[in-house]
A and B are shown apart, each in its own frame.
Chain A
Amino acid sequence: MALLSVSHLSRSFGSLLAVNDVGFSLDEGVMLGIIGPNGAGKSTLFNLLTGMLPVSAGAIVFDGADITAAPSAARAAMGIARTFQIPQPFATLSVYENLLVAARHAGRMSHAQARDHCAAVLGRLGLRALADTPAGGLRLLDRKRLELARALAASPRLLLLDEIAGGLTDSECAELLAIIRALRAGSVTIIWVEHVVHALLSAIDRLIVMDAGRIIADGPPHDTFQRRDVREIYMGLDA
């Protein structure tokens, strides 16, 4: 059975259809990449999946339960975690406390469990030394790492990454890629939205291409990316 299935999902802002009749389903353990030009509706799709925006139409089923109308916090507790395209650290908390929030709430861990788990996640992401520093003062790469670390602190089953590599240098990007690849060793299912296509293609099992709110292609990464219509959209970016 699919972990996530989305059918006829739409969201409009006034007359703009930001997400237009989107449907797909995703098996456990798969890493799905989503690409598409700016304004294609990728972040809006994440906002719908996590309940930060109500849907205009359609249904979202997660692990057999219809969560279309469930509040954000409840979805987080069911195992859906996300990062934000523009990092949203809890600036007055320390890096470690940022993770604690997710582990203690969405992850439902006891304090002792949370402590060990967060320490392990911080170690994995190379943030251990920064654990007790305020999250407000981090540089961009560390803020991106923190986004990822906080999402992982909840021990999610489905992880949504929104342009986590955006704005990073090539070497920083490679570093982050290695971390995300390593996640695949665990059983976490990932949807990764990215603008930096080369980073994405090497890591994912499946690619969805969005344009103007619609899914225009869905399939194996390299074949899908080579499709004519997809290349046309990416001409300006990738040629």
Chain B
Amino acid sequence: MTRRWLDKQAHLVVLAALAAALLAAPFALGRGDLRLLTEMLCMLALAQMWNLLAGYMGLISIGQHAFVGFGGYVFFALAVLAGVPLLWALPLVLAAGVAVALPTGLLAFRLSGPYFAVGTWVIAEVYRLLAAQVSSLGGGSGISLPIALVRDFAAHPVLRDRLIYWLCLGLALIVVLGSWWLMRTRVGLALTAMGDSEQAAQSCGVPTQRLKRALYVVIAALSALIGALIFLQKLRISPAAAFSLNDWTITIIFIAVLGGIGTLEGPILGVIVYFLLREYFSQLGNWYMVMLGVVSIGIMLFEPKGLWGIVQRHTRWRLFPVRHRLNDQAEE
């Protein structure tokens, strides 16, 4: 009985332990490690959201850096141009994310399949070019956050790093646990169904277009918020860094594919392995990029379900169980 209960609830125990460890991490880690962990959490949130878009809804966006960069720039604009306190600027970035995602989505959703992918990328390029035109934000060379506002946010750099870390942790938890919650609802069922057959999903009453648009907007707004936090940590923004295809889209896709798209656990595994690879091999320079390329092609060819797919061949255990079962009541 106790044994069985433990088996059933093991994922909750693991999750609680993980969350507690992450919450306490700032007290155990040095500044460099904490900043690395902050970055990992941001990448995790972005990868999880890309996974929802592409892995579940078939929306292969290669322009998510549009929203990361947009969020970063709105955040800096609010601080630099309007002197808005940094903490207050964050919810405004979220609202701005919604406001920009609506028309962007309207445009992108006119395209489908590969055209959607290319379209999202072109849109991101346009945003980058527009950002470089704003001379009050440093034009093409970028700008720093005003020191006074940064001091208001946190008097000491160590405290600042911790606050940013906890904000990113909170956001990552919202994204990961929110995705889990969503996938357990009827909407999650619909998302998985859409991935298998959009037509059949419609015939079962799933408003596929409406779902896609709604989720696209929510994801864009959250990506903008992550963008704001990323550049709050960096204290400086430029069009090239903010709208980096490499950093905020390609890497994200790599993480999701590596871990396994279409699963909630995949991006977590992916982000851990990606950062390990980066820590140990990035000094190889170009060869490191070649290695990432080979790894991703290998995964796509031989393990399309990613590393989590390999894990699932050996155990049915899930960190985020979402399945509905009929005959085995106990598994509900």
Residues in A lying within 8 Å of B, measured CB to CB: 50-52, 71-74, 76-77, 81-82, 84, 88-94, 96-98, 100-102, 104-108, 111, 115, 118-119, 122, 128-129, 131-132, 150-151, 153-154
Contact status B193-A72, CB under 8 Å: no
Task: List 8 additional contacts besides A129-B327, A131-B327, A154-B204; criterion CB under 8 Å.
Answer: A73-B205, A76-B205, A89-B197, A90-B200, A101-B190, A102-B205, A105-B186, A106-B204
From B189, B200, B202, B209, A104 is in contact (CB under 8 Å) with B189
CB nearest to A84 among chain B residues: B200
CA distance A151 to B326 in the complex (A): 18
From A92, A115, A150, A153, B326 is in contact (CB under 8 Å) with A115
CA distance A146 to B195 in the complex (A): 18
CA distance A104 to B204 in the complex (A): 9
Contact status A90-B201, CB under 8 Å: yes
CA distance A151 to B205 in the complex (A): 11
Contact status A92-B205, CB under 8 Å: no
Contact status A106-B205, CB under 8 Å: yes
Query: Nearest Cβ in chain B — how far from A193, in angstroms?
Result: 15
Contact status B197-A90, CB under 8 Å: yes
CA distance A108 to B193 in the complex (A): 16
Contact status B206-A96, CB under 8 Å: no
A-B contact pairs, 19 of them (CB 8 A): A52-B202, A71-B207, A73-B202, A76-B203, A81-B203, A89-B196, A89-B197, A90-B201, A92-B262, A97-B323, A101-B193, A101-B204, A104-B190, A105-B204, A118-B326, A131-B325, A132-B328, A150-B200, A154-B204
Query: Nearest Cβ in chain B — how far from A133, in angstroms?
Result: 10
CA distance A81 to B206 in the complex (A): 12
Q: With contacts A76-B204, A96-B326, A97-B323 known, is A105 near B190, CB below 8 A?
A: yes
Contact status B206-A73, CB under 8 Å: yes
Q: Tell me if B208 is interfacial: C-beta within 8 Å of chain A.
A: yes
From A71, A92, A96, A153, B324 is in contact (CB under 8 Å) with A96
